[in-house]
A = this chain, B = another copy of it.
Amino acid sequence: MHEPIRLLIVDDHPVVRQGLRAYLELEADFDIVAEAGDGEEALAAIGEDEPDVVLLDLKMPGTDGQAVLERLGGDGPRVLVLTSATDSERVPAAIEAGAAGFVYKDIDPDALAAAIRTVHAGQTLLSPAAMRGLMSGGPAAAPELTPRESQVLGLIAKGQTNRQIARALGVSEKTVKTHVTNLLRRIGAADRTQAALWAVRHGVG
């Protein structure tokens, strides 16, 4: 009778956490012992709930995934980094800090379950080719925004309110809100402030 793998899901977006929980709960050998929305909560959960494997998003406001890894110092649970195309430049540093591997957030459920079992078994999820691919080239590609979303993001990055953007573009505020909601989801930002900072980092606007 083997013990289930105790999992902690760490991501600042409830949608991502819920999505991961929804399919990880279907695996009989997984036990999701906690969720955390930021690094501090994650560290607390690691202390209290003693997960075997942490699914850790690196990009979180405040105490982020990298800080968690550094606080752990290679001790404790195995850490599987959740990343996305826009954030993969952080992965090498995370591996350096003790992560046992990484998966893309849009990985299919079976592959994710397999990745969890692999790191739990003490292996790492690193192939030299994959690491080289990650480290080659310049900044990560920006996610695909529609032309209008890019335009709205550019104006957010100039500090405009939705109302101002609506006026500038000659559309309703409701329409702007829709674009904002959509672009936030695409770039993985929780709010406009993060979106503005993202835009600055990625040379938008």
Contact = CB atoms under 8 A, between A and B. Distances in A.
Interface of A: 38, 40, 61-63, 155-161, 164-165, 167-168, 189-194, 196-197, 200
Contacts of A159: 61-62, 189-191, 193-194, 197
Contact of A61 (B40, B62, B160): B160
Given A61-B161, A161-B191, A193-B193, A40 B200 contact: no
A152 B200 CA distance: 20
Contact of A200 (B38, B160, B194, B197): B197
A10 B200 CA distance: 27
A63 B168 contact: yes
Copies in the complex: 2
Nearest to A195: B193
Given A155-B62, A158-B62, A159-B61, A40 B197 contact: no
Contacts of A189: 159
B40 A167 contact: yes
B190 A61 contact: no
Contacts of A200: 197, 200
Contact of A196 (B38, B160, B167, B196): B196
7 contacts: A61-B164, A62-B158, A62-B160, A159-B191, A159-B193, A197-B197, A197-B200
Contacts of A160: 61-62
A189 B42 CA distance: 33
A190 B158 CA distance: 12
A69 B165 CA distance: 20
Name which of A40, A164, A168, A193 has the most chain B CB atoms within 10 A of its CB: A193
Contact of A193 (B61, B168, B190, B196): B196
A167 B167 CA distance: 37
